[in-house]
A = this chain, B = another copy of it.
Amino acid sequence: MPAKSQRNWTDDAHTVLRAPASLAELDPRDTPGYEGRKKEGRRDFKAGSEQLGEYQERLFANSRGGAKESVLLVLQGMDTSGKGSIVKRVMGAVDPQGVTLTGFGAPTKEELAHDFLWRVRPRVPEPGMIGVFDRSHYEDVLIGRVRELAPAEEIERRYGAIVDFEQELADSGVRLVKVMLHISPEHQRERLERRLRRPDRYWKYDPSDIDERKLWDDYLRAYEIAIERTSTETAPWYVVPADRRWFARLAVQELLLETLEAIDPQWPPATFDVEAEKKRLARAEI
């Protein structure tokens, strides 16, 4: 793995992207911790994709040797912040057999009849896997709060329930990477205009996106509260400026690479007698 400096990062992404108390402090066009521009970013992304692929295979193999670690990337962000594009580009570079993706939409009737974490638990990645949540249990304290989809006391209760849940995951070996993709309202307008301009993008447009857009400041505030209440040592929040898509991709990839670097998964030793198996194979002619 090339040294950090060769990858144009001046600092750990885990350090520079740690969520600030106020989102207003953060320029969505900024590229904190990264001194390259788009061109270098693309080159580093390509090299990073290869590294991520290697790490993923090691993580998977490691679990076959009994290791319990998995990685869970939680992606949140306003409409058009590029969650789907991150999944496609960052995770698309990895063997799909090592990845479990879950998109959390509006809960179904059955899901609503249960606790808000009920639908989330079965989607937690098994040992050796990289899980990705495109939206997540955080929706229940984001749109849940803004749209008052549950009583205020229930919303309050959920912050604590999330902290407990994520601690439980961490204790069982799940390394959480919680990312908010932070865009500007101008960026969103451009993306929505694009969807209305291109017939091959109509299917991505939903008139209700504009209703949500009108509540921009309420959503930002809900994010700030959620981040404050649920950023813990074991499961901190990261905020990735995402007006520049190349940077958002690179930054999320870097957070994953650092997480896997820390796990440092190893090829498991043989659980059989290698020399004896070589002989068995030599005898098994057909």
Contact = CB atoms under 8 A, between A and B. Distances in A.
A95 interface: yes
B284 A202 contact: no
B97 A205 contact: no
Interface in A67-106: 84, 87-88, 91-92, 94-97, 99, 101, 103
Interface residues of A, number: 46
Given A196-B278, A277-B196, A286 B87 contact: no
A132 to B, nearest CB: 8
Interface string A275-286: 001101100111
Interface stretch (A209-217, A239-247, A255-263): A209-217
A278 B267 CA distance: 54
A168 interface: no
Contacts of A96: 87-88, 91-92, 96, 99, 101
Identify the interface centre among A210, A270, A277, A278: most chain B CB within 10 Å of its CB: A277
A267 B95 CA distance: 28
A199 interface: yes
Given A88-B96, A92-B92, A97-B103, A199 B267 contact: yes
Closest 3 CB pairs of A and B: A185-B286, A202-B270, A61-B203
